Amino acid sequence: MSPEPLDLLHRRRERTIGCYLIETADGLALFDCGPASCSATLKERLRERGLELADVRHLLLSHIHLDHAGAAGVLVREHPGLQVHVSEIGAPHLIDPSKLISSATRLYGDELEPLWGEIAPVPRENVHVVDRRVLGLECFPSPGHASHHVCYVHGDGTLYAGDAAGVRIAPARSVLPPTPPPDVDVEGWHATIETIRSCDPERLALIHFGVFEDVERHLGELEQRLDAWTERVREGVSEQEFVDAVLAALEPETGELYTRAMPIEQSFAGLRRHVDKRAEAA
């Protein structure tokens, strides 16, 4: 099955959040599932391929941020046979999402429900902590964007990257590192990029948004931007100066696409937190 993102049309906008159907050693899986506010669209995308939700046996999660995993509990409630695979750090927050909901409420306020929909718990018996092999795919920790992030590598050469390979909205070329609070780790992200390189993937499948085969150029630009953004924040630029500089560097007419997928203000806040924590530790 050739990797192709299922566009979940978050807030009725194209190329903001996607997910992927994957053939595994134990039937069909979804790589990430988007938020519950997009679950109806997800089922429409499956029906376009002659499938129902019940035909999907597994859900492989990159991490538990709501744009990637928010619908997990709602989908399992509708399809109790769905098995959910997630990192050891992320698993408890799927089973009991109260801390996740509290954190998201602080960030989004009254917009939480319209943006992401219901955040329902996943029954413990449906949650599986990933190992180095999952359903025939290689799996490895990929911190940087989030401490609980993992990636999966299919035998066909596709690396399902979640956010570990950044944000790039097809067909644009710009690669941006989403760095929201609370646990961005720049040094850890560089190590993750080296791990991705060592896998020698033929293509990168991104949730935001598309599949890309210029792997080395893509990863190199991700590294360069991650360092440049971090240094800019370390130098003390304001949030507005940071946002303006990021938007000015994007291809014409693509700024809105990127800011929908990864609000630049959140990336500034995450890097500000990271830089301040490193300074305190020093």
Q: What is the CA radius of gyration of the chain?
A: 18
Percent of the chain with pLDDT over 90: 90
CA dist list (Å): 186 to 201, 206, 233, 249, 268: 22, 19, 12, 21, 13
Residue 173, pLDDT score: 92
The predicted model gives 24-51 an average pLDDT of: 97
For the cut 90, the answer to whether the pLDDT of residue 103 exceeds it is: no
User: What is the CB-side half-sphere exposure of residue 89 using CA atoms within 13 A?
Assistant: 13
The CA-atom distances, in angstroms, between 187 and each of 147, 190, 225, 228 are: 12, 5, 13, 13
Query: In the predicted model, what is the mean pLDDT of the chain?
Result: 95
The model's pTM: 0.95
Q: Domains in the chain and their CATH numbers?
A: 6-281 (3.60.15.10)
Question: What's the pLDDT score for residue 107?
Answer: 83
| Pick from 231, 144, 239: nearest CA to 196 | 144
Question: Which residue bears the tokens 């109806």?
Answer: 40
The whole-number pLDDT of residue 196 equals: 98
pLDDT of res. 2: 67
- DSSP-assigned states of every residue in 100-117: HHHHHHHHHGGGHHHHH-
